[in-house]
Amino acid sequence: MEQATTDIFEEIERLKKEKNAIILAHYYQEGDIQDVADYIGDSLGLSQQAAKTEADMIVFAGVHFMAETAKILCPEKKVVLPDLEAGCSLADSCSPVEFKKFKEAHPDHLVISYINCSAEIKALTDIVCTSSNAVQIVNSLPPEQAIIFAPDKNLGKYINKLTGRDMLLWNGSCIVHEIFSSKKITQLQHEHPDAVLIAHPECEEVVLDMADFIGSTSALLNYVVKSDKKEFIVSTEPGILHEMSKRAPNKILIPAPPDNSCACNNCPYMKLNTLEKLLSCMKNETPEITMEESLRKQAEKSILRMLDLSKQLGL
Ligand code: 13P
Ligand code: SF4
């Protein structure tokens, strides 16, 4: 490890103690950030950790909607994000004004929103979900209950297929997951006939139909760790390979190829955060996530319903 990186690590550790801060990081963050984090996880795990932390400051190494969720759950705590521009294409694909009209056009529908959305959308939502609990949450509702699902159409389609429902889907998607090439994956499968294809449910239907296992980032990680198979083609953002290769050092992990000329498929938003920006935001306690209390309160209800349901469902 380079001297400069060692120094940054030491300084971050010092600031954690001095400021009673906790670093929560998503699996798509760069490896160094994951290594310095107190907790790494998927969206559900991160929100559960945020809800129960006793730290004074939450340093959220992830994207804006994740840090915003932490702020909604912990209004009295300072929540900082290394780069405020770290957004999410999926969250951006659902404008509150348009979504409100959509909801008003279907007044008998319950609204379930994927956590990858803004606080304004959460405020218009009955129950939030993540890719870890979406199927179970939908299944916990009476079969005759009409549902709007937003904003990810790929995850929505996948849940409809699995549950036999006909949820009304918002037309949003993730720029990272919709770009995987089924053609190039098929080619890879020919070159690696024993490889298991695992995919995140934000991928397009054509990729999900090919997959041997579908799950959230945590579920994909646990699957690889527990599987007795050796080789895996991983169809999600490649940041997950950092923890996967640590926890399953003897497995061969092959990132699924995107349908463009670039060899990788990094989330451009997640990768805006760097170790240097993380250090700077801990030092300066900025950029900070703030929001109006009325919006926070309204958005909190749908997140708390998710957390309660997840507890009941043992997730
Ligand atoms: P997970 O909740 O599965 O970690 O997914 C978050 C995300 O943004 C995937 O693109
Ligand atoms: Fe959003 Fe996609 Fe990036 Fe996840 S991978 S944060 S859904 S843009």
Query: Residue 85: how many CB atoms within 10 A of its CB?
Result: 12
Same domain (yes/no): 99, 113: yes
For residue 60, is it within any domain? yes
Looking at the 3D structure of the chain, how many domains does it have?
A: 3
In this structure, the residue with its CA closest to atom 2 of ligand 2 is: 174
303 and 286, same domain (yes or no) = no
In a domain, 109, yes or no: yes
Which has more confidence, 204 or 260? 204
Residue 1 has pLDDT above 70, yes or no: no
Share of the chain above pLDDT 90, in %: 95
Q: Would you place residue 172 in the very low, low, confident or very high pLDDT band (cuts 50, 70, 90)?
A: very high
**Is residue 260 in some structural domain?**
no
Average pLDDT rounded to a whole number, residues 257-273: 86
Residue type, 41: G
Q: Quickly count: other Cβ atoms within 10 Å of residue 274's Cβ.
A: 17
**161 and 103, same structural domain?**
yes
Gap from CA of 300 to ligand 1 centroid (Å): 20
Q: What angle do CA 171, 173, 176 make, to 5 degrees?
A: 165
7 CA distance to ligand 2 middle (Å): 30
CA of 63 to the centre of ligand 2 (A): 8
Residue 27 lies in a domain: yes
Residue 3: per-residue pLDDT? 67
Atom of ligand 1 nearest to the CA of 44: 2
Q: Are 71 and 145 within one domain? A: no
Residue 286 domain-assigned (yes or no): yes
Q: How far away, in angstroms, is 160 Cα from ligand 2 center?
A: 21
Q: Over 90: is that where the pLDDT of 75 sits?
A: yes
pLDDT at residue 80 greater than cutoff 70:
yes
On the question of pLDDT at 77 being above 90, the answer is yes
> Are 55 and 118 in the same domain?
no
Q: In this structure, are 57 and 24 located in the same domain?
A: yes
Measured between its terminal Cα atoms, the distance across the chain in Å is: 37
> For residue 12, what pLDDT band results from cuts at 50, 70 and 90?
very high
Structure tokens belonging to residue 285:
């306690």
Together in a domain, 38 and 102: no
CATH classification at residue 204: 3.40.50.10800
96 with 230, same domain: the answer is no
The pLDDT of residue 162: 97
Pocket test residue of 43, 175, 218, 271 for ligand 2, highest count of atoms within 8 A of CB:
175
Nearest ligand (C-alpha, residue 176): 2
- Say how many CA atoms lie within 13 Å of 290 toward its Cβ: 4
- pLDDT tier, 158 (very low <50, low <70, confident <90, very high otherwise): very high
Where does the pLDDT of residue 9 fall: very low under 50, low under 70, confident under 90, or very high at 90 and above? very high
Does some domain include residue 52? yes
- For residue 249, being part of any structural domain is answered with yes
Q: Which amino acid is it at 293?
A: E
Strands of 231-235's sheet in order across: 213-214, 196-199, 231-235, 252-255
In a domain, residue 261? The reply is no
Give the number of other Cβ atoms within 10 Å of residue 78's Cβ: 18
* Average pLDDT over all residues of the chain: 96
Range 249-256 average pLDDT = 97
Shared domain check, 204 and 61: no
Please give the residue range of the domain that contains residue 202: 180-255
Whether 214 and 244 share a structural domain: yes
pLDDT for 259 equals 85
- Please report the pLDDT score of residue 263 as a whole number: 59
**Taking CB atoms and a 6 Å cutoff, what residues make up the pocket around ligand 2?**
63, 88-90, 116, 174-177, 202, 237, 267, 269-270
String of DSSP letters for 65-129: HHHHHHHHH-TTSEEE-S-TT---HHHHT--HHHHHHHHHT-TT-EEEEESSS-HHHHHT-SEEE
pLDDT > 90? residue 6: no
Span from the CA of 131 to the centroid of ligand 1 (angstroms): 7
pTM (2 d.p.): 0.96
- 133 ligand 1 Cβ < 6 A: no
Region 51-78 average pLDDT: 97
pLDDT in tens, 204-219: 999 999 999 999 999 9
Tokens for 251?
């497995």
Do 61 and 137 share a domain, yes or no?
no
Do 18 and 72 lie in one domain? The reply is yes
Q: Are 159 and 135 in contact (CB under 8 A)?
A: yes
Ligand whose nearest atom lies closest to the CA of 221: 1
4-8, 143-147, 162-166: the lowest-pLDDT one = 4-8
Q: 15-43: per-residue pLDDT in tens?
A: 999 999 999 999 999 999 999 999 999 99
